[in-house]
Amino acid sequence: MNSCLLKNANLYHQGIFQKNDILIENGYIQKIDTNIQADVPVIDLQGKLVSHNFIDIHTHLREPGYEHKETIRTGSLSALYGGYGTIVAMANTLPCMDDMETVEDFQQRVVDNACVNVYTYSAITEELKGKNLWIWHV
């Protein structure tokens, strides 16, 4: 569905919540206004809230190392269906996100498997033990 008209959406627009229509053409929002008329399929939202996607800055994707619990694919799909467009994974994986090689491997897994924007924290100490600082060598 590349083009449609969302009718009767509750939308935070111009500093207040208001009922608006949203015209989407070729996958992009073209117009937000009251009572838009267009020759595209119409979806009546009946006052449901329309919002930008959310960001979760504390997720546990468990990959690499604990894929039996969660993967980048399953975790990002859950985020997508929950309205999240960006998530940030914690560093407690196996191996821990405490070196450039592991972070780069994670980034490639994200490219291959993620359904939303996925970032990761890196550990500030080796293996998250709080003793030896991890020094970035760029």
Per 3-state DSSP, what percentage of the chain is helix, strand, and coil (rounded to 5)? 20, 35, 45
Segment 5-20, tens digit of pLDDT: 999 999 987 788 999 9
Neighbours of 19 (CB within 10 A): 14
Can you give the residue ranges of every domain in the chain? 4-47, 54-128
Segment 85-115, tens digit of pLDDT: 999 999 999 999 988 999 999 999 999 999 9
Tokens of 71: 């993967």
Alpha-carbon dihedral sign for residues 74, 75, 79, 82: positive
